[in-house]
Structure 1
Amino acid sequence: IPGVVFSWSMASPHLSSDKRFLIVFDFDETIVDETSDDLVVQTVPGQYLPDWLKDTYQPGRYNEYMQRVLAYLAEQGVTESDMRAVMEKIPATPGMLALFQFLRTRPQTDFEVVLLSDANSFFIESWLRRTGARGLFHRIFTNPATFNKDGRLVLRPFHSHDCPRCPVNMCKQTVLRDYVTRRTQERGRPFQRLFYVGDGANDFCPALCLGPRDIAFPRRDFPMHRLITETHEATPGEFKAVTVPWASAEEVIQRLRKHVAE
């Protein structure tokens, strides 16, 4: 994908007091402190997958692998309620529920909140509804997953794209660019700043399109953080966003408070 950077400084001067921000969250190991795809294996008798199934994984095609895993779970008698029960028990990352509460209590003109994840809609919705956080999110972009008449959770890819960095089923930068372009048109003005909260290698790609007024919040010492650090060292200036690593989402709250007060 061309390294074109969004510019949020194109707003008219009379809109400079507009406090409307976009904040984007990943799900696995960002909102929740585990990987939902890994935990669903707990529903299988013995809590492990056979080697023949694990051996079918191919790099960049994890979504297709998970389709096979979910089919196997159905064959083993795993039900919708079994999977939901596991998802509902996943702990939030440190400080994340406090961050959600902070966003919830801000004036409606402050933050538009979006979730962008390579997990799936059933896992995410199960957790958000259990924690009461579903209403916080304006949009959720993830791989669709629905139960068929036989009770099997059928997973589909989110889209197709041409990005060489990302898995074949989802390029988060493509999703983010399309969303920001559409929302700017609908709102009649750009967001003042964009905040991206993530952890994984696939969160690095969307963060590359952030501009110098935007903030990337990579989970400290996770792949997204390491890739940002390596990029700064190898090609200074390529990664333009301000980088604020976090171990607890309380650190994200502290930084957001400063910008809301501007």
Structure 2
Amino acid sequence: MKRCFEGVGLRCLFKGVSMAAPRPAKHLLIFDFDETIVNENSDDSVIRAAPGQELPEHIRQTFQEGFYNEYMQRVFEYMGDRGVKMLDFKTVYENIPLSPGMLELFQFLSKNQDQFEIILISDANMFGIECALREAGCYSLFRKIFSNPSGFDKRGYLTLGPYHSHKCLQCPANMCKRKILTEYLSERAQEGVEFEKAFYVGDGANDFCPSMALTSTDVAFPRKGYPMHKMYQEMEKKQPGVFQATVVPWYSAVEVCQHLQEFLKKKR
């Protein structure tokens, strides 16, 4: 599979933030964030900055399946009303632990940046992701981050918006990762950048949709026991062979690292 992207070097709290300068790459590596790079759901983690580290029942009851982004907008409004400031949010995001083995994986990738173009697609928010990645020392590895736009308004409240609109019935109203990935690949192809192989590292149900866009030459790394892995297993039972990519489940990101190491050895 030959796939074909650009970086604009723009640092701000908006969707689709570009960071690294363009460089030749043979392989595309896609990461999710929550419960993949970090070992928690950052939307749950941030509640630690709320008074009493919990939300009132009337806020929790407003959650609707498929509309989590809108729910988090209400959560951030409530936290702003209770005096939670930027530094409070930043401290929480910076202290979310990495998933097991993720540091080792990032160390490997930092030594092999010429082999991979790395992007992140997440239904979290840009401010939180940037805080966490900078604290972990791996922010510069990512050529582009796709996430919900966030920032602080004149009141000092953390605000959140939807990433885009789409017609996918499987995904939350604010984000379809498959749409983002396919558009990204199309954009890169137009720019003359080709990828021999794609690797997708994720955990959630919203990671299963984009992984269905992978081909037989690609690799999906679903976190063991998490929704993405379970959905793959269910599909294999009901429709064997429909999922095209090679599947390598992981408990620790060291397993992802080992697979990539072996892959590069075979290429040399």
1:80-112 per-position Cα deviation (integer Å, ceiling 9, x unaligned): 00011011111100110110110110152x100
1:48-105 per-position Cα deviation (integer Å, ceiling 9, x unaligned): 1111111111111000000000000000000000011011111100110110110110
CA-based RMSD of the aligned residues comes to 1.4
The alignment status of 1:28 with 2:40, answered yes or no, reads no
The alignment status of 1:127 with 2:139, answered yes or no, reads no
5 Å matches for 1:50-69?
50-69=56-75
Q: Is the 8 A contact 1:32 1:92 kept in 2?
A: yes
Instruction: Give the TM-score, by structure 1 length.
Output: 0.92
The alignment status of 1:49 with 2:24, answered yes or no, reads no
1:154 and 1:19 map into 2 onto residues whose CA distance is 35
1:144 and 1:82 map into 2 onto residues whose CA distance is 19
Q: Is the 8 A contact 1:218 1:244 kept in 2?
A: yes
Q: Which of 171, 175, 185 is the matching residue for 2:176? A: 171
Instruction: Give the TM-score, by structure 2 length.
Output: 0.90
Aligned to 1:100: 106
Q: Which of 194, 200, 204 is the matching residue for 1:200? A: 204
Q: Which of 234, 242, 247 is the matching residue for 2:246? A: 242
Aligned to 2:226: 222
**Where in structure 1 are there 5+ consecutive unaligned residues?**
1-7, 12-17
Q: Which of 157, 160, 167 is the matching residue for 2:162? A: 157
Q: Give the CA deviation at 1:189.
A: 4.6
C-alpha change, 1:230 and 1:96, in structure 2 (3 Å) is same
What one-letter code is carried by the residue in structure 1 that aligns with 2:149?
P
Q: Is the 8 A contact 2:2 2:195 kept in 1?
A: no
The alignment status of 1:140 with 2:162, answered yes or no, reads no
Structure 1 runs (4+) greater than 3 angstroms displaced: none
Q: Give the CA deviation at 1:235.
A: 0.8
Q: Give the CA deviation at 1:9.
A: 5.1
1:250 and 1:133 map into 2 onto residues whose CA distance is 16
C-alpha change, 1:106 and 1:150, in structure 2 (3 Å) is same
1:167 and 1:10 map into 2 onto residues whose CA distance is 27
Aligned to 1:5: none
What one-letter code is carried by the residue in structure 2 that aligns with 1:190?
E
1:252 and 1:97 map into 2 onto residues whose CA distance is 12
Q: Which of 209, 214, 217 is the matching residue for 1:210? A: 214
Q: Is the 8 A contact 1:19 1:260 kept in 2?
A: no
Q: Name the SS of the counterpart of 1:122 in structure 2.
A: helix
2:211 and 2:146 map into 1 onto residues whose CA distance is 16
Moved more, 251-260 or 196-205: 251-260
Q: Name the SS of the counterpart of 1:119 in structure 2.
A: coil
Q: Name the SS of the counterpart of 1:143 in structure 2.
A: coil
What one-letter code is carried by the residue in structure 2 that aligns with 1:257?
Q
Q: Name the SS of the counterpart of 1:194 in structure 2.
A: strand
1:118-142 per-position Cα deviation (integer Å, ceiling 9, x unaligned): 0000110010111111100000000
Q: Name the SS of the counterpart of 1:46 in structure 2.
A: helix
Q: Give the CA deviation at 1:260.
A: 1.5
